[in-house]
Amino acid sequence: DVEFRDYEDGTASFAWQTDNGDRGYYQVIFTLSDGFLEAEAIVDISIIPVPHFEYIQSADNASVLIRSSLLDDQSLEVFDEIAVFTPEGLCAGAVLIEPNEDGELFPTSLAAWGDELLTEGVIDGFLNGEEMSFRYWDISTETEINASIDEIFEGGRVWVDEGFSVITLVASSVNHEPEWGEITRFIEINEGENIFVQISGTDPDNDRLELEYVPNNLPQDAAFVITGNGQGVLSWTPGFEDDGDY
């Protein structure tokens, strides 16, 4: 795929049509000679992968400095990505992992973009007070992995316009089962009294959770409202003919 053509008049052309698998860092050495003396020119070439995460830049943003990012106790590698997400699962910023001037991958930083006010009726970024969550793109396995904040050195988890946070991130490629919070397993009340039960769960991997409700023999006026990400509320006021076990 690489083509070099010498026109034998002191000029030449170099062409390379790169493919998806060509990502990496390359060096080309060109040598110019008059038959007795030579001069070299070294050209460094960086082939960057097309970013996985997509987002919209707006007028408002918060800065997040990431001191380290671990996956299975190992640092992320070149061309992996880190992205920040709103509570609704919208990507609002990302960074591609590349070596800095010292050849180090970390620290690195990203901008967490706020909602664009000019796009009325569409939320395309963070709103003040929303919690930030993070995901990795592991380019070696082409997999998105939820990451958790391990340490906070400055700022916090909440997005604030022109805010600044310094954090470290950790993640595991092994999926763990979600865990229930404290749930009342037995309820006994009198007819006409209200039942109000809050249900919640968490996930060790910071995965977004879904709840499923199976009423079994509960009557239709018993309501279960899913409030989002592993949380819900069961409410029912049994009538005077609803005595029994459910």
How does pLDDT run along the chain (246 residues), one tens digit per residue? 899 999 988 899 999 999 888 888 899 999 999 889 999 999 999 998 999 999 999 999 999 999 999 999 999 999 999 999 999 999 999 999 999 989 999 999 999 999 988 888 889 999 999 999 999 999 999 999 999 999 999 999 999 999 999 999 999 988 888 999 888 888 888 888 999 888 999 888 777 788 888 888 888 888 888 888 888 998 999 888 888 888
pTM of the predicted protein model: 0.69
Sign of the Cα torsion 151, 157, 159, 160 reads: negative
Largest Cα separation within the chain, whole Å, is 108
**Structure tokens given for 20:** 């998806």
Count the alpha carbons within 13 Å of 246 in the hemisphere toward its beta carbon.
17
Task: Work out whether strand 179-180 and strand 164-171 pair parallel, antiparallel, or are unpaired.
Answer: unpaired
Print the SS3 string covering 183-212: CCCCCCCCCCCCEEEEEEEECCCCCCCCCC
DSSP-derived pairing of the beta strands 2-6 and 12-16: antiparallel
Copy the structure tokens of residue 50.
């097309």
Contact 135, 145 (CB under 8 A): yes
Residue whose entry in the numeric block shows the structure tokens 């199976």: 214
CB 202 within 8 A of CB 181: yes
Q: What is the DSSP string of 64-85?
A: EEEEEEEETTEE--TT-EEEEE
